[in-house]
Amino acid sequence: ETGVTQTPRHLVMGMTNKKSLKCEQHLGHNAMYWYKQSAKKPLELMFVYSLEERVENNSVPSRFSPECPNSSHLFLHLHTLQPEDSALYLCASSQDPTGNYGYTFGSGTRLTVV
Amino acid sequence: TQLLEQSPQFLSIQEGENLTVYCNSSSVFSSLQWYRQEPGEGPVLLVTVVTGGEVKKLKRLTFQFGDARKDSSLHITAAQPGDTGLYLCAGEDNYGQNFVFGPGTRLSVLP
């Protein structure tokens, strides 16, 4: 399978639940990202991993916890979320962390917090 | 943090019409990228422009990078319903420190 695959595509969770989003890439890319896309807002960078090490964390609340066990897999662990966290969460990969070669995005996970 | 502005925010046109959308900043960018995002999917990279004044064509789409590398435009000729989507520009600043996305132009092409 090629490209960037995200699961699940849709997720509804209560504020007390714990869930995880999964991202997988088979492009041989060295950098992976989590972005949040809300209505009427630009894409917000959440986390950047380069060669499995976190290189950027844009002041994201601790209720979001990323994990990158290897260069092909990226997780976003969620716990005690708020309704305002409802959004499309996009995973992306690129050849290097500069983004100069462009990003390959997954289809996203549409998260609804109730 | 540098900001990218895009205009118009929304655009609804009839099939066969031409259109241009814009991406602007007060800062210089080393490169700019254009993406199209269809409903329910992630953004897909269309093109990267690097050199000031550069023009790239992708079938009916023409991309231009401003001479000063602060702005870019996307022109679509004879738009089709399949062109419908959110068009995002994105770029890295001249210092290689920030990569940002614009808010996008939402295009709707009616048959």
pLDDT at A90: 97
| Strand B5-7, strand B19-24: pairing | antiparallel
CA distance B31 to chain A (A): 7
pLDDT in tens for each of the 114 residues of chain A? Answer: 569 999 999 999 998 889 999 999 999 999 999 999 998 788 999 999 987 788 777 789 999 999 999 999 999 999 999 999 999 999 999 998 777 789 999 999 999 999
Q: How far apart (Å, rounded) are the C-alpha atoms in residues A43 and A88?
A: 10
Predicted local distance difference test score (pLDDT) of residue B96:
64
pLDDT for the residue numbered B69: 93
The confidence score (pLDDT) of residue A38 equals: 92
B48 touches chain A (CB under 8 A): yes
Taking contacts as CB-CB distances below 8 angstroms, the residues of chain B near A24 are none
CA distances in angstroms from B25 to A52, B10, B43, listed in the order given: 32, 19, 21
Residue A52: predicted pLDDT: 76
pLDDT computed for residue B2 by the predictor: 57
Q: Name the amino acid, one letter, at A62.
A: S
List Cα–Cα distances, A90 to A21, A47, A97, B10, B108, in angstroms: 10, 11, 16, 22, 23
* A111 lies within 8 A of chain B by CB: no
- B6: number of Cβ within 10 Å: 22
Report in angstroms the alpha-carbon separations of B90 from A12, A47, A103, B22, B71.
30, 17, 10, 12, 11
B42 has a chain A CB within 8 A of its CB = yes
Q: Is B103 an 8 Å CB contact of chain A? A: yes
Are B68 and B57 in contact by the 8 Å Cβ rule? The answer is no
* Greater model confidence, B50 or A51: B50
pLDDT digits (tens, 9 = 90+) for B65-103: 999 999 999 999 999 999 999 999 998 876 666 788 999
- Edge-to-edge strands, sheet with B19-24: B5-7, B19-24, B71-76, B61-65, B55-58
Which residue, B99, B54, B67, B59, is CA-closest to A96? B99
Rounded CA separation B72/B22 (Å): 6
Residue with tokens 């329910």: B40
Instruction: State the count of interchain CB pairs (< 8 A) between A and B.
Output: 50
Question: The tokens 């509804």 sit on which residue?
Answer: A12
Residue B54: strand, helix, or coil = coil
**What's the pLDDT score for residue B97?**
64
Structure tokens at A113: 């917090």
* Structure-block tokens of residue A73: 């897999």
